[in-house]
Amino acid sequence: MARKWYDDDELDILNNRNHERVLDAVEVFLEATPTFCRCRDCRLDLAAITLNGLPGRYYVSEEHMKFYGHSDERLNDDRVARAVHEASAVVTRRPHHD
Ligand SMILES: [Zn+2]
């Protein structure tokens, strides 16, 4: 078997800024939306569908984040929140839970 190009612990510093944003936005959404199903399938589907609707924003360390700049932070927050709401409609319409 071919040797992997990375060591497992090296992947620990490979992060996706939008992944972190989505986890935070899902928490805010769930707190504000008690009617949304709390089961594992629905919570994880909500995060997965939201992430699929947003571009990845990978970086290797906090130091590298400076290359992205922060001028669009506000816009991104709004966009992520909107993506969570759109994803929630999809999950509610076609839930995977029993
Ligand atoms: Zn559910």
Whole-prediction pTM value?
0.79
Residue 2 lies in a domain: no
| pLDDT single digits (tens) 41-89 | 999 999 999 999 998 888 887 666 665 555 455 557 888 999 999 999 9
Q: Which residues surround ligand 1, an ion (CB under 5 A)?
A: 37, 39, 42, 97
Residue 68 to residue 87: CA distance in whole angstroms: 26
Residue 3 lies in a domain: no
Give the distance (Å) from ligand 1 centre to CA of residue 37. 5
Contact 47/83 with Cβ under 8 angstroms? no
Average pLDDT, the chain: 87
56 compared with 1, residue with greater pLDDT:
56
In 3D space, the residue among 37, 54, 52, 16 whose CA is nearest the CA of residue 95 turns out to be: 37
Residue 38 to residue 16: CA distance in whole angstroms: 25
Residue 5 lies in a domain: no
Give the distance (Å) from ligand 1 centre to CA of residue 55. 26
Look at the chain and report how many structural domains it folds into: 1
- The number of residues making up the chain comes to 98
| pLDDT single digits (tens) 2-29 | 789 999 888 888 888 889 899 999 999 9
Share of the chain above pLDDT 70, in %: 85
DSSP string, 3-61: PPSS-GGGGGG-EEHHHHHHHHHHHHHHHH-TTS--SHHHHHHHHHHHHHTS---EESS
Residue 1 lies in a domain: no
Residue 53 lies in a domain: yes
For residue 38, the enclosing domain spans: 10-93
